[in-house]
Chains A and B, each alone.
Chain A
Amino acid sequence: MTIFRRSEFIIAAILLVAMIFIGLINPAFWSLDNMFGLLRSNVIIGIMALGVLVVMISGGIDVSFTAFAVAAMYLTVKGMLYFGYEGVLVPFIAATLIGLVLGAFNAFFIHTFRMIPLIVTLGTGSVVRGLLLGLVGTSIINIDKMPPELINFAKVNLVNSTSATGTNFGLTAMILIYLGLALVTHLFLRYTMIGRSIFAYGGAPEAAKRVGFDTRKTLFFVYCFAGALAGFAGLLQGSMIWQANPRDFAGFELDVIAAVVLGGASIFGGRGSVAGTLLGVFMLVMVKNSLIIMKVDTTWQRVVVGLIIVGATALTAWRDRKKLV
């Protein structure tokens, strides 16, 4: 546990240094306006990251969840329009369930055929995206057609303020959903047997089987959980940007994985924490945000995200290997 605490401490320290540094270059960084904006950008990537964290602790990887998120969002919004439904709760439950069911496919292939999670999720992600565009539709549902209930729901702010230039801004209430889910994930990982089985499986799959964990259950749980969170985050994203785009989230999985790795989760499995992931997500969002403020071209942002993945993975790999000696 000390190592856990230590790596989170290090992440937090790096984050603080980076924030001071960015603040020096760009004083506007510390403005309430910018901070609220940053936190808002944490919500979607953060919720998805919680799912990816759990997958990575189990020793796996998931690159299909963005496809599941898009599918859940687009299908749900289409469904709402078709039935003329005017609520919020049922659509979110539906989106979550769509993600969950799709996640179960991942678990099925990984468990039944003992396949490598990367290959399975590359495949299922591609299939789901393809089916969505081929069977459901390719057109973007814009604000004029978007169900207003969803937009209004995502518009709820915790605090409202007016900036010096006279524009209104606020802190989105969606951050509470994110933090709530984070808390639930943390409690669940730490205080339930299935949560511990994920750590055990990620640390030593064979030993987990030998001591009597139902590893099939563990795997199904892990990938369903990641799928469900992605489905939920997908619809929330649509609500927050007032648009349901069936081609959304392209390449976004890399950002999420980078954030989780940055948060200290081990690519070898068995290690990772919700607190670390929260920090990792914030750090990634902050870096990307700063690049935008500094008017760095978006193509270069891909370079930065890639470097972060390689750098953070190298660091955690080095940390984990050093411990073996």
Chain B
Amino acid sequence: MQKAPAFLIFADLHHSGESMSENLLELKNISKRFGGLVALDNVSLVVKPGEIHCLAGENGCGKSTIIKTIAGVYTPTEGEILIDGKPVTGFTPARSVQQGIQVIYQDFSLFGNLTVAENLALNTLLLEGKKSVSWKRIRDLATKALARLGVTMDLDADVESLPTSGKQIVAIARAMMGDARLIIMDEPTTALTRPEVDALFRIVRDIQAQGIAVLFVSHKMREMLEISERLTVLRNGKKVAEGPISDFNEAAITRAMTGHDLTDQTYEWTPVKGDEQPRLNVKQLSIPGMLENIDLTLRAGEIVGLSGLIGSGRTELALALFGMNPKYTGSVTIDGKAVHPKTVQDAIASGLAYVPEDRLTEGLFLTQSIERNMLATSFENFVSGMFIDRKKADAATKAMFGAMQIAAPGPQTPVNHLSGGNQQRVVLARWLLTGARVLILNGPTVGVDVGSKAQIHRKIRELATENGLAVLMISDDVPELVQNCNRVIVMHRGRFVDEVAADALNEDALNDRLKALK
């Protein structure tokens, strides 16, 4: 037992001996414990000057602990931090910045109420210990910072008026001021559309061309493969893989991140014979200035993707169907029955369920029991007279608890004791209890890591095949649509402009059509 690590350490020393001056940052056998909880367990990480390095792992794997250790916020319980080959002691946030390390957190730490120019210049003015403010100098500093990134932007715009991508550019430009040598980006692509991701990657490569290293923290495999040169994968606080990106492919990264293989089987739908009645039939639905003559037919067991650029009218369509924007013309039938939901309650009663973005993870009452969470939208169905029919409700939730295969001691377990994937099952169960026959999902896996994502997908497919639900899946995630939908509709400027049928459905085909929209 003792020999193997000794050998490893030796190998490590040997390696770093050769490239001592090459390493900008080296974490050596870092462990971090919070009380009894081990957040990092003997993790080593090397970042070379000017490289794009990816730190991968699922939520809770220790990524943020590593970032905070490098930023000097956390002091490691064990292990050593070396910068330029020299060990640093008493590492603090200020010293980390002095060494040229800049962290761009997910929330960007910008001031929404201040202008772009001021956001960019504040750090520098603070570092210089200025007492007074010269607005001309603020503009000069800001212009210079943006020029360095090769972008132009309205310096007088309030940052909160910018789209996420704009805020990110401000955050990056700010991080590069001073003498940044390593910029750490925490999940930088989470809220970006594909063209914005492309723009970000161009910027990241520009930064690299200026000799600045980038540590890219992510759980999105494609992006890692696309942008990074080297990869380090964490799982449960341990380093499980590292190496040049050429050593990895999607499957290998997934395996390293989750510890097992995930299926990439696409969804196949076979129409049920004798059940020709469409679940949902939308005819000529229009809202002036928003939606134009939408025709949509969903049949039992279908999972239909809805793709398009942001602002294409996808969400508006979902809201119209779900009674949140009832001022439309045209007709909607569910199982052959004409409906025109004017409120969310109407929509639920007529068999619709809509799960808005993030709601899969955030729509739960975390401290409440599984049972209560399941019943949250369907209490009306279990009322007799003035009171809730406990027996009926218990029976329904118990049955659902079993059907959903939720891994918990029982329906009374609080939802915050469950894993992410199991929490999602609770949300889906909640909608099934409303008797929904048409399920509209908006960005069902935004911000969800690979493992849970696969679980959610599996459940959605089961709902379609086994419960005969018709599913409309709105998503920006092309692989997600390709993998889970039997056909994908492309929406643009409030209209359905294209449809990719099952036999032609692949990522390139869908990407090409999305690109053609611009």
Contacts and interface: CB of A to CB of B under 8 A. Distances in A.
B419 interface: no
Given A203-B111, A204-B112, A324-B160, 19 more contacts: A1-B115, A191-B132, A191-B133, A192-B133, A193-B125, A193-B126, A193-B132, A193-B133, A195-B133, A196-B114, A199-B111, A200-B114, A203-B112, A207-B109, A210-B109, A211-B109, A211-B123, A212-B123, A323-B158
Interface residues of B, number: 24
B161 interface: yes
Nearest to B94: A212
B125 A207 contact: no
23 contacts: A1-B115, A1-B156, A1-B158, A3-B158, A190-B133, A192-B131, A192-B133, A193-B125, A193-B131, A193-B132, A195-B133, A196-B118, A199-B111, A203-B112, A204-B110, A207-B110, A211-B109, A211-B123, A212-B123, A212-B126, A323-B158, A323-B161, A324-B160
B125 A323 contact: no
A216 B160 CA distance: 25
B109 A196 contact: no
B122 interface: yes
A203 B114 CA distance: 8
B113 interface: yes
Interface residues of A, number: 28
A202 interface: yes
A153 interface: no
B130 interface: yes
A324 B111 CA distance: 13
A299 interface: no
Interface of A: 1-3, 190-196, 199-200, 202-204, 206-208, 210-213, 266, 269-271, 323-324
Contacts of B130: 193
B127 interface: yes
A224 B501 CA distance: 68
Contacts of A2: 156
A158 B118 CA distance: 40
Nearest to B110: A207
A200 B110 CA distance: 9
Contacts of B127: 212
Given A193-B126, A323-B161, A206 B109 contact: yes
Contacts of B156: 1-2
Contacts of B107: 207
A1 B94 CA distance: 31
Contacts of B125: 193
A269 B118 CA distance: 17
A212 B132 CA distance: 16
A275 to B, nearest CB: 17
Given A192-B131, A193-B132, A212-B123, A203 B113 contact: yes
Q: Which of B115, B130, B160 has the most CB atoms of chain A within a 10 A radius of its CB?
A: B160
Interface string B113-147: 11100100011011100111101000000000000
B457 to A, nearest CB: 30
Contacts of A200: 111, 114, 122
A324 B126 CA distance: 28
Nearest to B122: A211
B132 to A, nearest CB: 6
Contacts of B122: 196, 200, 211
Contacts of B115: 1
A284 to B, nearest CB: 24
Nearest to A4: B158
Contact of A271 (B94, B110, B113, B118): B113
B137 to A, nearest CB: 12
Contacts of B161: 323
A212 B109 CA distance: 12
A191 B160 CA distance: 22
A191 B123 CA distance: 16
B131 A213 contact: no
B121 to A, nearest CB: 10
Nearest to B105: A210
